[in-house]
Amino acid sequence: MKSWSDPIVRRAVRAVVEGVHAQRDAQAALGDTDRLGHDQAADLVMSETRRLRMEDTTLLPIAMSPDEQAAVWATVRHAAVAELAGLGRLQLLLDDETIQDVNINGGDEVWILRADGSKTQGEPVADNDADLLKLGQRLARRYGREGEQEWSETRPVAEVTLASGHRITLVREVAPRPTISIRRPDLTIQRVSQLVALGTLHETIAEFLAGVVRFGANVLVAGGPKAGKTTTMRCLLNEIAPEERIITIEDVRELELSHPVMVDADGSPLHADVIAIATRRPNAELEGAFTLSDGLRASKRLNPDRLVVGEVRSSEAAEMLDAMMGEAGGSVCTIHAASARAALGRLEYLAAEHSTMSEAGARRRVADAVDVVCWQRQDPKSRQRYVAEVLEVSGVDGDTLLVHEVYRVDAEGRLSGDGPSVKMRQWLTAHGWRHGMRAVD
């Protein structure tokens, strides 16, 4: 099949799309096209391509052989249906399961990051930036789980989650060219054992973290952008007993704990009682916003056994600490930080900055609330993601949070550290821990 960006293909696709518009009521054609279903679009495209092949012999080069023309028309049909009922050339990237992320810097500059860590430049997704703007507007208006969104000169940023789970961020005006970034959800990694097989978790660390989450410790999963925090948190949460009631609060529903693929070896759901709360942006009248803090406050009245926050980064920090100190315990959240210790410092800062707590009060609250911090990184050379630090929080001494280094892993996978503290060992044993704590190599 020829490239969708091939000039000959693009010329024919434009002719087909224009012909489909002409087949429909001229007054409503442009407005109705977005509402075309796939089957309806396919029928219209088939009819129009049949007409063009009979009536417009100049559309394809005369020098093309019948086989070459057939290959072009096959590509044109697929591309035209995507233009009419999908997201055009962007649809190819969304449908490719080997693609992890896509960064589009204008219609003709496309960067593709695959699951194996490779980065390549892809083909254009639009003929020009004006067409890319139209594509982005259509995407924001009609394809997001969040409902219709505005993406315009006055609202230059939009965030859209497709039904497929793809997270899309659109930026215009404040960037030199229209910019679109796409992140593909990966729900194939669900269990701690998979993280061990991938090298994300050392086996000893995996046993420890699975135990502390399963038995109800409060855990902070920290790391930089693209370190894999959400995937690690999902796998740890899947260690929780299936009868426990879990409430998740996220900007975008990424954890997907109740997704149909989240099943055990017998095919039973890993979690039978999950409420997934998502934030909401205000509408054009600046009404209807729902924040992470709002979600945390509401969730406490929904009888949770576990509270989970996708990412703590603002005023929700104090609410999260309060939830961790609640009777149930066992809360898990992520935070951006450059190290495990920096994660504690950032949580302390956010709690003090966005509440009436003093710095000393916030420090004490962090010490009382957080039990374990694991920090994950992505090696810049190998692109390997792995948990590099695990700390226990043991208290506070004046201006200093006291921590115990449980484990540390270097880029070669070598494990060091003191292992779990005596207090942690006793706590795990009291909760029925059956795995022996391995000595550090």
pLDDT in tens, 384-397: 999 999 999 999 99
Cβ contact 322:354 at 8 Å: no
Point out the least confidently predicted range of 316-320, 333-337, 368-372.
316-320
What is the number of other CB atoms lying within 10 angstroms of the CB of residue 205?
Answer: 26
pLDDT at 217: 95
- Cα angle at 402 between 400 and 404, to 5 degrees? 150
CA distance 99 to 388: 26
Q: What is the average per-residue pLDDT within 407-433?
A: 90
Reduced to 3 DSSP states, what percent helix, strand and coil does the chain have, rounded to the nearest 5? 35, 20, 45
CA distance 387 to 41: 48
Sort strands 179-183 and 99-105 into parallel, antiparallel or unpaired: antiparallel
pLDDT at 323: 87
pLDDT at 197: 96
Is the pLDDT at 74 greater than 50? The verdict is yes
Instruction: Grade residue 130 by pLDDT with cuts at 50, 70 and 90.
Output: very high
Query: Which residue shows structure tokens 């961020």?
Result: 169
Report the largest interatomic distance among the alpha carbons of the chain, rounded to a whole angstrom. 85
CA distance 386 to 232: 9
User: Residues for the chain: how many in total?
Assistant: 441
Instruction: Grade residue 327 by pLDDT with cuts at 50, 70 and 90.
Output: low
- Cα angle at 295 between 292 and 296, to 5 degrees? 90
Of all helices (H) and strands (E), which one includes residue 15?
A: helix 7-23
Is the pLDDT at 105 greater than 90? The verdict is yes
Instruction: Grade residue 27 by pLDDT with cuts at 50, 70 and 90.
Output: very low
Cβ contact 229:223 at 8 Å: yes
Residue pLDDT, tens place only, 41-63: 888 889 888 888 888 778 888 88
pLDDT at 211: 93
Q: What is the average per-residue pLDDT within 87-109?
A: 92
Residue pLDDT, tens place only, 258-307: 999 999 989 999 999 999 999 887 776 778 889 999 999 999 889 999 99
CA distance 218 to 183: 28
Global pTM reads 0.81
pLDDT at 111: 97
Q: What percent of the chain is predicted at pLDDT more than 90? A: 55
Point out the least confidently predicted range of 38-47, 244-253, 321-330, 356-365.
321-330
- Tell me the Cα Rg of the chain: 26
User: Dihedral (C-alpha) 179, 17, 86, 25: value to the nearest 10 degrees?
Assistant: 120
Is the pLDDT at 437 greater than 60? The verdict is no
Residue pLDDT, tens place only, 138-182: 888 888 777 778 899 988 998 888 888 888 999 999 999 999 999
Tell me the domains of the chain and their CATH numbers.
1-86 (no CATH), 96-185 (3.30.450.90), 192-430 (3.40.50.300)
Cβ contact 217:329 at 8 Å: yes
Measured between alpha carbons, how far is residue 130 from residues 16, 248, 390, 417 in Å? 20, 39, 49, 55
Is the pLDDT at 16 greater than 70? The verdict is yes
